[in-house]
Chain A
Amino acid sequence: MLYHPRASKRATVILTLILVIALFAGCGGGGQSSPSTPAPSSTTAAQGSSSQPQQTPAEEVGPVNKTGYPIMNEDHTFKITHSIATTDKTGSWQDKEFIHNLTRDTGLKLELTGIPEQSYNEQVGIIIASNNLPDVFIGEPPNFSQFITSFYEVTDEAIAEYVPTLAQFYGQNADYRTMSVFPDGKMYGLPYTQMDGIIASKCLSINQTWLDKVGAQLPNTPDELFDVLMKFKTEDPNGNGQNDEIPYSFYKDQNRDDKLFGMLLSGFGLVNDDDANYRFLMVENGKVRFYPSDPRYLEFLQYVNKLHVNGLLDPSGFTQEEVDMIAKGSSNLVGVFPNYSYDDITVGEYADDFTHLLPLQDKDGNRRYMQSKIPGNLTPNRFVITLKCQYPEAMLRMYEYANQSFENRILGTWGPEGTAWAKLADGSLEKLANPLPDGYTSYAEIRHSFSLGVKGFTIWMPEDNQQFAVTTDREKKLLARQEPFVPYIMNEYIPKGQNDPADSQEINILLTEIKSYMDNFMAEAVLKGIDQAKWDAHVQSCERLNVDTYVELQQKYYDLVAK
């Protein structure tokens, strides 16, 4: 009756991996021994990519109309498997106005199977493994690159013909198209985007009120930061007479070093790529570098250890969750914390006390900031059509329907007017986030109860987002902290994109070991200190973990995508 959530999570991950391996073992064996019984998906794959026979009948009076509605001339039901946001209080897409309008206008018959997002990867993994495919997945299947042979190839011609809105979007931003292209030069999915223009979503936030109280300026270098934190600790800036201040708070996160000390790296000439696929990497002069074995990283570790020895770090940082940090932040106990969104989420009513801290200067006076690689959010393989689908053009046209007009886009991703948004007198739009209606605990709940939200297949463009008026203080503050970071953003970084399936699999295997080693190593170096002997041992361990191969593979990818 008592199960450990993390253990079960880990168990499911392991199970999924075993499944995938088992699947491959099965396919390989079958293919070699008896050519008559390979996995059905691979035979259809050959047909699909060689001639695309489905497109020919459309030229006569085929089942799919190229323009106009209804899309289909014959009675056909499309099976769609999609993910449902946890914040969706209705738990289904069935009653969404957008889906209602879509089926009414396009005449498409849809059989929607919604899978809650927490079970999505497990269920879809099994659906694919048992070859029980629907027509479309809305939500990238896990390990997508391993299964692309089961999916319909989206050609540029098909996009131009059936999805002109996407063609135009890609025309304006060639980079966004590149993100969908696999190393074989083909695309297998259509994107979901929410372009909100935010490139500096993360920063270290520092308590300006405390700074004023201890008579200090915003620190620029690691040493200045040390002095400030020291004052926070000793001079009782929250004025309650107790020595309970936590100068630097943080929390554990298995995939984001920046939630610990990653944002301090700038003070040592390093920068951390925050992308889970490119962990521990930075690009310097065209070379991908594994920074944890760089001598500058030793200096960094010694610095963080110095913070720890002087009691400037949150003592429970390595074990606590974000909510634990929030509990401290909203009791006015925190001086500096890694911030990923609005200040008030972490520090509540003390949000006005906080300001952003620019990346620290290194010895040469340079600051480095790893910006969001896209100004907003772009999921390249959100809408993927399987080879089971008899009429992929109809599904492309459905995608186009969702994006062809601003009305459809806003209905699809934010909901009908009056639920998650309303029109202001000047014609701009306002998010109805404040106050929240009864029964809702967050804005995301309203949004997802009335629209497909971040699980849908909308291309929410930069110009769409500009229609939203910025009304709340928290949003204004977030937008105001974009400009100051722009001078320090990195020109060299590993772009997002699709890697070779074999390479990405190898990277995953290598990274799993590197990650668990690095977690321990960093915590130990910070808590127990590090000297030259330990550092040499660490460099050797990195070699044993095949860091070189990891870097080589990532370099290969970088060279391919960055050109």
Chain B
Amino acid sequence: MTQTRSHIRDNTGDRIFSAVTTTITVLALIMALYPLYFIVIASFSSPEAISMGKVILLPSGFNTAAYRFVLTEPKIWNGYKNTILYTFVGTVFGTMVTLMAAYSLSRKDFAGRKVINMLLIFTMFFSGGLIPTYIVVSNLRLTNTPFVLMILGSVSVYNMIIARTFFQNSLPDELLDAAQIDGCGNARFFFAIVLPLSKAIIAVIALYYAVAHWNSYFNAMIYVSDQRLYPLQLILREILVLGQSLTNITDPSEVEALVERQKVAQIIKYVVIIISSLPVICVYPFLQKYFVQGVMIGSVKG
């Protein structure tokens, strides 16, 4: 509100207006923040208290059992390790491939770029779908390997278009002319001049890929069966999504195991949300300035 204050005194109507807008904004803020806050306090509360509706403003039945469980569960740590690996390698690889493709397509002297552009855009609307993709992955013998989770989806056409537009708009042709006169080849121009001038777009593209890799579980579910290769999100899905088997379970010890898993899921539900989103929440503020800037640059004349 301080920014809008001026030397002209507010009249009554203005004051009512700002009071109403402030109230609405604060309410909206609470509505957006409360679920996050609830997850934090719920992660410190006992499941019984949560299910009986006692957790509203403060943790009830304070305990750290959930954190202890999660921090001592080897599967979760292994999943964490895998996710970090997949995210890192996948992001580096994806960003690299995307930027190189985007740069080539931004060059006006690149023969056939219109056709290639059309083909790429075509895939945004009509993709082969899951089964042809599976057949390709399987014929390349990539199923059940970590590589499929790093490579698959490395070129997002959407990201590529953003990057291409950025290159087209922010790198004048004269720069290339000057470099070529000095004897600079295409590869050197790309690595020594284009990339250093494009930090903003690199940050954006990398963030897009990193978030996508961090959250991805579907590819792992389809292409990987070895549990040691599972990323964090799939481990969490396993813990939280209980096998709602349609067949009747008659063996009481199976029923008991199911209930046992429900209890664990109930306890750790909130903690896993925290631990799986914390890294992204931590990184985001530092990238945000590039983020807004980069997308805006790329979006003009998109």
Q: Is A276 an interface residue (CB 8 A)?
A: yes
* Chain B residues in 8 Å Cβ range of A132: 134-135, 138
Contacting residues, chain B, for A328 (C-beta < 8 A): 52
Pick 25 A–B contacts, CB within 8 A, sort by A: A1-B215, A1-B280, A8-B241, A91-B227, A113-B144, A114-B225, A116-B227, A118-B237, A119-B221, A123-B225, A198-B250, A276-B247, A277-B246, A321-B262, A324-B52, A327-B47, A341-B256, A342-B256, A345-B255, A372-B250, A377-B251, A442-B257, A443-B256, A443-B257, A444-B253
A340 within 8 A of B: yes
Interface hub of A276, A433, A442 (most chain B Cβ within 10 A): A442
| Known interface pairs A2-B273, A323-B47, A323-B259; A118-B243 also in contact (CB < 8 Å) | yes
The docked-state distance in angstroms from the alpha carbon of A110 to that of B57 is: 57
Most chain B beta-carbon contacts within 10 A, residue among A8, A320, A341: A341
Residue from A123, A320, A322 in contact with B221 in the complex, judged by beta carbons closer than 8 Å: A123
* Residues of chain A within 8 A of B177, CB atoms compared: none
Contact A86 B135 (CB under 8 A): no
Quick check: B257 and A323 within 8 Å, CB to CB?
A: no
Chain B: minimal CB distance from A344 (Å)? 9
Interface residues of A in 428-472 (CB under 8 A from B): 431, 433, 441-445, 447, 454
- Asked if B228 is at the interface of the complex by the 8 Å CB criterion, the answer is yes
Q: List 9 A-B pairs, minimum CB-CB distance, nearest first.
A: A444-B257, A341-B252, A324-B51, A341-B255, A1-B277, A442-B257, A327-B48, A443-B253, A91-B227
Q: With both chains docked as a complex, state the minimum distance between the C-beta of A452 and any C-beta of chain B, in angstroms.
A: 14
Is the C-beta of B173 less than 8 angstroms from some C-beta in chain A? Answer: no
Name the contact of A442 in the complex, choosing from B227, B238, B253 (C-beta under 8 A).
Answer: B253
Question: How many chain A residues touch the partner (CB < 8 A)?
Answer: 70
B14 interface residue per 8 A CB criterion: no
- Does chain B have a CB within 8 A of A87? yes
- Indicate if the CB atoms of B51 and A19 lie closer than 8 Å: no
CA–CA, A340 to B250, complex, Å?
A: 8
| Option from A12, A87, A320 in Cβ contact (under 8 Å) with B51 | A320
Q: Any chain B CB within 8 A of the CB of A478?
A: yes
Query: Are A116's CB and B238's CB within 8 A?
Result: yes
- In Å, the complex CA distance between A399 and B193 comes to 66
Name the B residues within 8 Å of A129 (CB-CB): 131, 134
What separation, in Å, do the CA atoms of A87 and B129 have in the docked complex? 33
The reply on A274 being an interface residue by CB < 8 A is yes
Q: Which residues of chain A are within 8 angstroms of B227 by Cβ–Cβ distance? A: 84, 91-92, 116
* In the complex, chain B residues 198-253 whose Cβ is within 8 Å of any chain A Cβ: 211, 214-215, 217, 221-222, 225-228, 233-234, 237-238, 240-241, 243-244, 246-253
Check B250–A478 contact: CB distance below 8 A: no
Q: 12 extra interchain contacts, Cβ-Cβ under 8 A, other than A5-B241, A8-B241?
A: A8-B217, A116-B225, A119-B225, A122-B221, A126-B131, A129-B134, A130-B135, A324-B51, A326-B263, A327-B48, A327-B51, A345-B259
Contacting residues, chain B, for A123 (C-beta < 8 A): 221-222, 225
Give the Cβ gap from A114 to chain B, nearest Cβ, in Å.
6
| B81 beta carbon closer than 8 Å to chain A | no
Q: Which residue of B lies closest to A342 (CB)?
A: B252
Number of interface residues of B (CB under 8 A): 52
Q: Are B222 and A122 in contact (CB under 8 A)?
A: yes
Residue on B nearest A23 in the bound complex, by CB: B131
Residue of A nearest to B139 (CB): A132
Which residues of A are at the interface with B, using a C-beta cutoff of 8 A? 1-3, 5-6, 8-9, 12, 15, 19, 22-23, 84, 86-87, 91-92, 113-119, 122-123, 126, 129-130, 132, 194, 196, 198, 201, 254-255, 274-277, 316, 320-324, 326-328, 331, 340-342, 345, 372, 376-377, 379, 431, 433, 441-445, 447, 454, 474-475, 478
A130 to B131, CA, bound (A): 6
Contact check, A130 vs B233: say whether CB atoms are below 8 A apart. Answer: no
**Docked CA distance A22–B127 (Å):** 14
A546 to chain B, nearest CB (A): 22
Q: A254-B244, A327-B47 are in contact. Are A1 and B255 (CB under 8 A)?
A: no
Flag if B277 contacts A126 (CB, 8 Å): no
Identity of the chain A residue whose Cβ is nearest the Cβ of B225 in the assembled complex: A115
Residues of B within 8 A of A5 (CB): 237, 240-241
Residues of A within 8 A of B10 (CB): none
CA distance A276 to B244 in the complex (A): 12
Chain A residues near B248: list those with CB within 8 A: 201, 274-275, 372, 377
* Interchain CA distance A118-B227 in the complex, whole Å: 12
Q: Which residues of B contact A92 (CB under 8 A)?
A: 226-227
* Most chain A C-beta atoms within 10 Å of own C-beta, residue among B48, B129, B131, B277: B131
Q: CB distance B257 to A379 under 8 Å? A: no
Q: Give the distance in Å from the alpha carbon of A257 to the alpha carbon of B64 in the complex.
A: 36
Cβ–Cβ contact A323 & B253, under 8 A:
no
B130 on the interface (CB 8 Å rule)?
yes
